[in-house]
Amino acid sequence: MSAAKPKESPDLGAIFDGHIEKEFEQNRESGKTDRKTIDLHLVETVGPNHEDEIASGTQKNKRVVKELYEAFGHGNMAAVRALVAEDVIWYLPGRVPHYSGCYKGPSSVADFFQNLQANVGIEAFEPCEFVAEADRVLVIGWSRGRVKNTGRAFDNRWVMVFTVRDGRIAKFEEYADTQALAVAHNVSTHHAGVLGNQHPQ
């Protein structure tokens, strides 16, 4: 069975341009051909701050992700739960203990964070770069820590991908060095499922 094609984000620029082109044609057909009249009509129908609204929404989505990191850093699980959607899907690859899995719903995500904090000591966690567009926020960073029951340390570089909907995180997926995490947990990479992960639908 072939994998379903990922849903592509809408091209907002193309949609906006298409709307302008349609309005221009309607204005031309109704006899409104001077530039000033057309511009005034477009402002009334599309709005003068359309691009500003998109940019503002993107910045708000980035702020939601930063608030989640802050809540995790302070161990504030109530804030974590409040920042994720009721139907959130939270996915981490591999089969690394206290880490990997597909978590669904705020309670499951909060349990993941609590389990992680109980079993892994995070010594450094640095989101280095935030890239946001529309409802997607990508964060590039690294972390360093130690697994408590093995005493083994790890360094991990990662990319975290968030989808934000109505001010809450609806989907999360991480691309990380699961081999480094597996070694730190004293689990062979074969049993950790590093190469053969089942992706959430």
| pLDDT-derived band at 95, boundaries 50, 70, 90 | confident
Residue 194 confidence (pLDDT): 43
CA 177, CA 28: separation in Å to the nearest integer? 58
Task: Please give the pLDDT value at position 47.
Answer: 52
For residue 129, pLDDT beyond 60: yes
pLDDT above 80: residue 42: no
Cα 186 to Cα 147, 180, 190, distances in angstroms: 9, 10, 12
Q: What pLDDT, on a 0 to 100 scale, did the predictor assign at position 73?
A: 87
User: What's the mean pLDDT in 96-118?
Assistant: 91
- 28 versus 161: the higher-pLDDT residue is 161
Helix (H, G, I), strand (E, B) or coil at 23: helix
Which position has the higher pLDDT, 182 or 137?
137
Whole-model pTM: value is: 0.67
pLDDT of residue 35: 55
- Looking at residues 13-22, what average pLDDT do you find? 54
pLDDT at 40: 60
23: buried, middle or exposed (CB in 10 Å: 19+, 13-18, 0-12)?
Answer: middle
> Angle at which helices 35-46 and 12-29 pack, to 10 degrees?
130
Residue labelled with tokens 């499922």: 193
- The encoded tokens of residue 101 equal 């899995």
Percent of the chain with pLDDT over 70: 65
